[in-house]
Amino acid sequence: MAQSIGMYPTIKKIKEELKANADEKTKESGKRFFKEKIELYGVKTGTVVKIANKYWKESAGKLGKEEVFALCEELFKSDYCEEAFVVSTWVPKLAKQFEPADLGIFRSWIDRYINNWAKCDGFCNHSIGDFMDMYPERVADLKVWAKSKNRWMRRAAAVSLIVPAKRGRFLKDAFEIADILLLDPDDMVQKGYGWLLKEESRKHQKEVFDYVVKHRKVMPRTALRYAIELMPKEMRTEAMKK
């Protein structure tokens, strides 16, 4: 069914356009931001978004949600960061059509295809953040993800609430996720939940400060520094005391 409506030619065109816009300097520059080996064409993010929007307007946006999800899975399979960023651009456009069962699909994508912080944050910040805004009762799933053996699933548990947190939402849940991840040895996970606390501090500075002070003796310094980044200097100094 998928091929009969011309989905995979769209993938082929996207790949060709990404290759045509690839730049070796951008590729080498991008690799510096990752400890792990990553696949990059070397296309600037702004250009990737333009390409994603172009093919959304031309073809993907005219398809049903299931067909778009199938397209997204094909893009994820390539392992190229830029193709994953196309997914991160497309999926939020479907937010009004999200259904509770979609979270299972999103979880499987994270578990199978996400293997660096950029893919994780790009997908989770908006796609899963939008889902949680729509179905707040499903935030309980994130607390299960926080206990996963997969480091990117654990980071996803935190960064999926980044956008809602900027608006002051899910504070109690953010603290519960931070509790689960508090002593996580992985620096990518520490940065993830520290970032979540930082965004919650925009609207709930005192509560986040109190949380950090309560846990500062055991909280990894990486997470702590992220969490207090937006606070006044005197609060940061106090929070950093051992």
Residue 23, phi-psi category: left (phi > 0), alpha (psi -120 to 50), beta (remainder): beta
**Paired strand residues for 90:** none
Note the pTM of the prediction, 2 decimals.
Answer: 0.93
Residue 100, phi-psi category: left (phi > 0), alpha (psi -120 to 50), beta (remainder): alpha
Phi (first) and psi of residue 137, to 5 degrees: -65, -20
* 3-state helix vs strand vs coil in the chain, percent to 5: 75, 0, 25
Q: What are the pLDDT tens digits along the chain (242 aa)?
A: 344 444 689 999 999 999 999 999 999 989 989 988 899 999 999 999 999 999 999 999 999 999 999 999 999 999 999 999 999 999 999 999 999 999 999 999 999 999 999 999 999 999 999 999 999 999 999 999 999 999 999 999 999 999 999 999 999 999 999 999 999 999 999 999 999 999 999 999 999 999 999 999 999 999 999 999 999 999 999 999 87
User: Cα separation of 39 and 80, whole Å?
Assistant: 5
